[in-house]
């Protein structure tokens, strides 16, 4: 079943007692918003739901929350799902955009996850250290890193209990055996809270946009047992390579080609041993703390390994 069809089914279920409407009609409305107008799915869903609420003369509270399911943080591994979480607010960060009321990190015994609360959702403020049950939040994914979005259908209840937050930090010691595509000098979508990496000047969500340059490395680090995917953000990349974003831009401009940056970085780091520490998000480890090691520099063995991947 397609994504749109699944969401259409959910919405249809909510209204089946109230309106004579077909799943196909719901699906068509959703598809128009998502495919033609490039509206993000959670907004499209809200908009279509509002349309039917109006048609049925109902308030949102009259509907059952329907499809959302109680999960733990570690269970969040699909985007666009409606879930219920009970979690503690570990940190609040400064929103980078007026459309976001609050952004920060939630945690439960199984791990941590970023949350975003939209300004227009008009929800009560979450406090740092507070424990809340959050019903009807939507999952999202960016580079294997999951987050949840609190929206106007979300129900927030403060809980009078403390919960322990699981530690999901990883430490990897091993050889950096490969650098994946999408590394080096990249362009990101400049839209509020999007930052998706552009493919040929296009954002998956916002279409053609004027991208903003960024540096990042997606690497494979082999600890002798497993291969781990590690992401270095701009700061981690600058620290690792000694190459600044400005220098990388100059280098690409001189060559009239951005791939020279990735080539230069790969030549510098592939085959080197590192100790990498950082949080785990989905299948990725984010490199927070990196130390170069004097590893067994058997370059030939490493190359054989890299080629076989």
Closer residue to Zn ion (CB): 40 or 109:
40
- CA–CA distance, 288 with 126 (Å, rounded to integer): 27
**Site for Zn ion contains 75 (CB under 5 A):** no
**Site for Zn ion contains 193 (CB under 5 A):** no
Closer residue to Zn ion (CB): 32 or 204:
204
Q: Which of residues 13-72 bind Zn ion (CB under 5 A)?
A: none
Q: Report whether 148 contacts 113 (CB < 8 A).
A: yes
Q: What minimum distance in Å lies between the beta carbon of 196 and Zn ion?
A: 5
**Site for Zn ion contains 87 (CB under 5 A):** no
Stretch that binds Zn ion, among 16-24, 62-70, 181-189, 217-225 (CB under 5 A): 181-189
Closer residue to Zn ion (CB): 40 or 95:
40
Q: What minimum distance in Å lies between the beta carbon of 87 and Zn ion?
A: 27
The DSSP secondary structure of 175-244, one letter per residue, reads: EEEEE-TT-EEEEE--STTT-PBPBTTEETTTEE---EEEEEEEEEEE-SS-EEEEEE-HHHHHHHH---
* Closest of 201, 187, 170 to residue 280, by C-alpha: 170
* Closest of 257, 194, 266, 208 to residue 237, by C-alpha: 266
Q: Using CB atoms, what's the residue nearest to Zn ion? A: 189
Q: What minimum distance in Å lies between the beta carbon of 142 and Zn ion?
A: 10
Q: Could you say which of 11, 131, 172, 203 contacts Zn ion (CB under 5 A)?
A: 203
Closer residue to Zn ion (CB): 208 or 246:
208
Q: Helix %, strand %, coil % for the chain, to 5?
A: 30, 35, 35
Q: Could you say which of 34, 100, 189, 230 contacts Zn ion (CB under 5 A)?
A: 189
For residue 32, what is the DSSP state? Answer: I
* Closest of 153, 150, 120, 139 to residue 46, by C-alpha: 153
Token pair belonging to 265: 């970085």
Please give the angle made by the CA atoms of 147, 183 and 143, to the nearest 5 degrees: 15
**Site for Zn ion contains 197 (CB under 5 A):** no
Closer residue to Zn ion (CB): 9 or 191:
191
Q: What minimum distance in Å lies between the beta carbon of 258 and Zn ion?
A: 19
Token pair belonging to 189: 């979508």
Q: Could you say which of 25, 173, 193, 205 contacts Zn ion (CB under 5 A)?
A: 205
Q: Could you say which of 206, 234, 249, 305 contacts Zn ion (CB under 5 A)?
A: 206
Sites of contact with Zn ion (CB under 5 A): 189, 191, 194, 196, 203, 205-206
């Amino acid at each position: 079943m397609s994504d749109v069809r699944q969401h259409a089914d959910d919405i249809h279920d909510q209204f089946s007692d109230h309106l004579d409407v077909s799943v196909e009609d719901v699906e068509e409305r959703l598809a128009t918003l998502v495919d033609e107008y490039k509206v993000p799915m959670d907004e499209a869903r809200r908009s279509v739901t509002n349309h039917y609420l109006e048609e049925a003369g109902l308030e949102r509270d009259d509907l059952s929350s329907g499809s959302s399911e109680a999960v733990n943080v570690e269970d969040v591994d699909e985007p666009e799902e409606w879930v219920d979480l009970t979690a503690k607010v570990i940190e609040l960060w400064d929103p980078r955009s007026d459309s976001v009321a609050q952004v920060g990190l939630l945690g439960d015994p199984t791990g941590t996850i970023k949350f975003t609360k939209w300004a227009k959702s008009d929800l009560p403020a979450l406090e740092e250290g507070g424990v809340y049950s959050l019903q009807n939040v939507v999952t999202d994914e960016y580079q294997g890193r999951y987050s949840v979005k609190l929206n106007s259908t979300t129900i927030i209840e403060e809980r009078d209990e403390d919960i322990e937050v699981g530690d999901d930090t990883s430490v990897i010691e091993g050889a950096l055996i490969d650098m994946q595509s999408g590394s080096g000098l990249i362009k990101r979508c400049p839209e509020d809270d999007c930052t998706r990496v552009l493919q040929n000047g296009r954002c998956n969500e916002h279409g053609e946009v004027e991208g903003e340059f960024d540096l990042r490395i997606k690497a494979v680090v082999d600890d002798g047992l497993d291969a781990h995917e590690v992401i270095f953000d701009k700061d981690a990349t600058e620290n690792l390579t000694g190459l600044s974003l400005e220098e990388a831009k100059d280098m690409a401009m001189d060559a009239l080609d951005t791939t020279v940056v990735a080539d230069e970085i790969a030549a510098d780091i592939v085959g080197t041993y590192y100790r990498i520490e950082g949080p785990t998000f989905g299948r990725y480890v984010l490199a927070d703390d990196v130390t170069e090691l004097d590893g067994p520099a058997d370059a030939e063995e490493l190359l054989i390994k890299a080629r076989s991947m």
